[in-house]
Amino acid sequence: MENASHPDTLARKIRERAPNIRPRIGIVLGSGLGQFAERLDNAVYVPYADLPGFPNVTVHGHEGTMVLGELFGVGVVCLQGRKHAYEGSSHDIVKTYIRTLKRLGCEYFFAISASGSLCENVGPGELMLIKDHINFQGTNPLVGPNDDEFGPRFFPLDDAYDRETRETLTGLAENLHISLHEGVYGAVMGPNYETAAEIKAFRMMGVDAVGMSTVPEVLVAVHCGMKVAVIAMITNFATGLATTSHSHKAVVEMASKSSEKVCVLLKQFIQTLA
């Protein structure tokens, strides 16, 4: 009996909805950035509810829809919303939606996430291109039996954030006069924001931005052979650097304000693939 939530099954189902779109790049859009998908040509919308194994999105700012379309003739698939470990999700959900992107033909995986800054010179509204990460979540979506169909049991992360892609994005940002910092991402479990002591420790370890997502997606994407890039939208200073308490509402609002720069940068990168 066919497994309805297997990436191969899901990819076939999605192709039936969008038979003329062959995506080369898959993008997970975090809090406040769902609007990028509205810029795609020939867009086809597929609710997560129609895709067994996809997230039941519960976080404000995450719409819960897959959008397939084109920009400059390049096939693009956007995921409006992701699943977070603090929601109690199983690892299978992250593996399902990332591997479905791979089965649809995506060569590139981009993750956009709202993040807190640990750098005094990188404030709210700025963008940070992630060059490496430290996983503080205490878990990994690839724990358990390995699926050799997608990747090897053991795999390296020395170029997890594809160097060539980062160089392209850096060059595009310079041409567009967009300030694009580079740094290390620290992934925490959440749902609470971090303590001042934790942030102090993270800074000593070399973390530049902190968030509650992204790294599980990166691990699965690298495992199945996609070229990965992550752009952190800085929405606030982390605890200890901030002068006010955090709120998710403020995070989403700041992410929305930063979204235009991200949209322009993504469009320019996609144009390089045309």
pLDDT in tens, 107-141: 999 999 889 999 999 999 999 999 999 999 999 99
Q: Are 114 and 211 in contact (CB under 8 A)?
A: yes
Q: Are 20 and 42 in contact (CB under 8 A)?
A: yes
User: To the nearest whole number, what is the mean pLDDT of the chain?
Assistant: 91
Say if residue 157's pLDDT is above 90. yes
Query: 7-273: which CATH topology?
Result: Rossmann fold (3.40.50)
pLDDT of residue 143: 95
Q: Is 84 a catalytic residue?
A: yes
Which one is predicted more confidently, 35 or 156? 156
User: pTM, whole model, 2 decimals?
Assistant: 0.94
Q: Is 212 a catalytic residue?
A: yes
Q: Are 82 and 55 in contact (CB under 8 A)?
A: yes
| pLDDT, tens digit, 9 for 90 and up, residues 58-68 | 655 547 899 99
Q: Is 114 a catalytic residue?
A: yes
Q: Helices 91-103 and 215-223: crossing angle, nearest 10°?
A: 50
Sorted by where each begins, the domain ranges of the chain are 7-273
Q: Is 62 a catalytic residue?
A: yes
pLDDT of residue 212: 94
Residue in 212, 229, 233, 255 annotated catalytic = 212
Q: Are 231 and 128 in contact (CB under 8 A)?
A: yes
Say if residue 221's pLDDT is above 60. yes
Residue in 18, 31, 63, 117 annotated catalytic = 31
pLDDT of residue 239: 85
Q: What is the percentage of the chain residues whose pLDDT exceeds 70?
A: 91
